[in-house]
Structure 1
Amino acid sequence: MLADHNKRQVMTLVLIYVVAATLWILLSDWLLFSIWPGSEHVLGSNIKGTGFVIFTSLVLWILLHRISHTELRAEQAETATTLNLFNLPQFFASLPVVVYVLDVSDGDSRAIWVSRNIEDIIGYPVSVALEPGWWEKNLHPEHREQNVADFREILEQEGGNHAYHFRHGDGPYVFIKDELRLISRPDSNTRRYIGVWTDISESHKAEEAILDYSKKLEHAMFATVNSIARLSELRDPYTSGHERRVGEMGAAIAVEMGLDQHTCMGLRIAGLLHDIGKIAVPAEILVKPGRLSGTEYALVKEHPEYGYSILKDVTFPWPVARVAREHHERMNGSGYPQGLKGEQISLEARIIAVADVIESMASHRPYRAGLGLAEALEEIERGSGTLYDAKVVAACLTIFREQDYVITD
C-alpha cells in the first residue's frame, strides 16, 4: 500500500513537470515579448532559454528531493513490514521472555494471547496457559494469597511489577518476574494489558546465595566481636555482661528513634566494644572495692583513647572506633577525652552514652551497690539537653516507662 502511494507521488511530480515545461515552450514567446516588446529576437531567445534552464533545474531539484524522501519512507515501511503483526509470533518466539495479553472486565481477568515460546520457558503449551485459573493454580501455595493480592493491586494501579514462585511445567518451582502494563482503556469496561514473564531463577538463586553468605559473615563477625568483649570482661568480672546489655539497650533506643536496622546492628557491635580500652587499665584498679584515687581515676579515664587506638584500623561498616572514643563525651563539653560538644559527638556515641549510664547506675559495682533503674532514669532526665542528647533521652524514657523495657542479665 505504501509503495503504491509513493509511485503515485512520483507520477504526479513527473506530470506536473511535463505540463509546466509544455506551457513554458508554448507561451514563453508571447509572455516575453508582451513584457519586453522592444527586445531583439536573439536576445529574447537567450533570455527564454536561460529561464527554461533555471525552471527545469528547479523542478528537477524538487523532484529528486521528493524521490529521496520517498525512498527513505519506503525503506522505513519495509522495515516496519518485517516486524509487523504478520511476523510478531515468530518475533516473540525468539525472545527469552514470555509475552501475554490480558483483558480485565468487571474485576475478572482473562489471558487472551500468549507467545508460543511459553512452552520452552515455563513448560506449558499455549492452550493450557489460556485456560481460566491456570495462573492462580500454579502459584506457590505458601504465597498464593499474597501474590494474587499483589496482582489485584497492580491492576488497580494500571500496571506494575512483581515477582513470585511459579510451578514449571516439569514440576519444580521457578522464580518469575512479571511486568504488566496497560495498553488500552476503551470506553467499555474492558481494559487490555500486555505483560512479560521472565524466568529469573538463576539470578534469584545468586542473590539468595549472596544474602546467605552475608548473613553468615555477619554472624561470624558478631561472634568474633563478642569473644573479644568477653576477653575484656575476664579482667573485670564484676561488669560481666555490661557491654552486651549496653549494646542491646542502644539498639532498642535506636528503634524508638526510627533509625534503620543497619544502624541498630552497628550499635550492638559498638556496645560490645565500647569499653575494650579497659584492657590497658590495670586489673587491680578495675576491681578495686573502694573509691579510686585521683591517679587511678585518671588511668581509667584513658580507656576511651585506648579503645580507639585498638579499633581505629579495623574496617567496620559503622563508626565503632569513634563510639569507643566518644561514649564519655557530654553535650555541654564537660566529658572526656576530647571535650566535644553537641553534634561534634557522633549520634551512635550519644546513644551508647545514655545506655552506658543507665546500665552502670542500675547494676552493682565493687565499690557500691546498684542505684536502681528509677534513679538512673532520673539522672538522664536531669541531664537531658546538657549532658545527654535530648532526643536520645526521650527515646530511652519511652522504652522504659511506656514499653516496659527490661535490662536482661
Structure 2
Amino acid sequence: EPIPIIHCDKCGATPVPESDLPVELPEVAHYEPSGTGESPLANITDWVNTTCPKCGGPGKRETNTMPQWAGSSWYYLAYAVKDPETKSYNLLDKDKIKYWEPVDIYVGGSEHATRHLIYARFWHKFLQDIGVVGNPEPFIELHNVGLILAEDGKKMSKRYGNVINPDEIVELYGADSLRLYEMFMGPFADEITWQTDSVIGVRRFLEKVWRLAGKITDLEAGPPSDNSLHQTIKKVTEDILNFRFNTAISTMMIQVNTWDKTGVVNLDDFKTLLKLLAPFAPHLADELWEQTGERESIHLAKWPEYDITKVGSDIITLAVQVDGKKRWTIQISPKAKEEEAAKQAQANPEIAKWLAGQAPKRVIYVAGRVINFLT
C-alpha cells in the first residue's frame, strides 16, 4: 500500500490530495530490487515522477510502502461497510458502523499487543477523532491465546522439523478429536506442549458418547433429569463465555461417565448433551442429533437452559464495565433482564462516577455474566 506523499524540492513532503486517493501500485510484470536499498518502486520512473499538487512543479512519489498492518488494522470495519456488488468500502456509512461496532471479542496471540492490536487501536483512535467511528475502543474484550509447542517443547518450526501436521491427526483420530483435544489441552491463554498420544483420551470420550446413543430410553420410560444435568448446562455455558473450554469438556466427561455407569439415559437429556457438545465436536453431535429423529441441523437448535432451582444459588456476581473496562461488580438475580441490571448498576456510586452523569449511548448485556456501558 503506497504512502500517499509526494516530495517536492520547493514544497517538501506534500500529501496527495484526497480526490486522488487511493494511490495504487503500478501494473508491472514483476518488481526488481533497486540495488540502492530503496523500494523496488524506485525503479519505475513513470510512476515515481509526478507533479506536486501544491505548486504544480516536478515531484516524486514516496516509494516506501505501508506494511500489511495498514490494511489489517481496520479490517473489522471493512467487513461492515463493504458493498457486495461494487466491492468498494464506504467508511462514511455510519449506520452500518454503528450497528456492527465495537467488536465483541478480539482473540490473538500475546505478541499482537505490540503489533496488530496496538496498530488497530491507533487507527481506531484516529477514525474516532475524524468522526468515522463513535466508540473510543475497537474491541470490547481481549483474549490472548497461548502458544502450542511441539512435542519436544520447542516452538513448531520447519527448521526444527517438529511441526504437527493436522491432516495426519485427522486421518488417525478424526477431525472432532483434533478439535476437542486442542481445547482440552489446558487453559486457553497458557503455553502448552502438544502430545499426539494424548489425543486418544478425547477420542475415547467421543466413542463413549456414541455408545451412549444405544442406551437411550423413551422419555416416558426413562429416568427423570437430575440436578447434575442442569449443573452441567450452567457450567458449560459459563465456561464457553469465559474461554474455559478445557473445564467445559471435563464437565461433559463427568456427565457422560455418570450416565454410562447407570446404563441408561433419557432421550431429552441426551439431546441436551449433544447441544452442549456441538461447538466442540460438531460432526459427531450433528450425526447423533439426526439419529434421534431430528431433521434440522443441531447447529440451528436453541442452546439449552438450566433450571435455576436445581443449580444452587439464586444470586450471582455480575461484572460491570464502562467502555469495556471492568469498574465494579453487583449482586443480582441470574434471571435479571437488561433493564433491571442496568438500573441497579447505574445506581451504584462507583459506576455513577465513571458515567459522570451521562446516559450511556449503548448497553451490552450478557445475562449472568457482564453488563457494559458504552459512552
Shorter chain as denominator, the TM-score bin is: under 0.3
Q: Which structure's CA Rg is the greater one?
A: 1
Higher helix fraction (1 or 2): 1
Higher strand fraction (1 or 2): 2
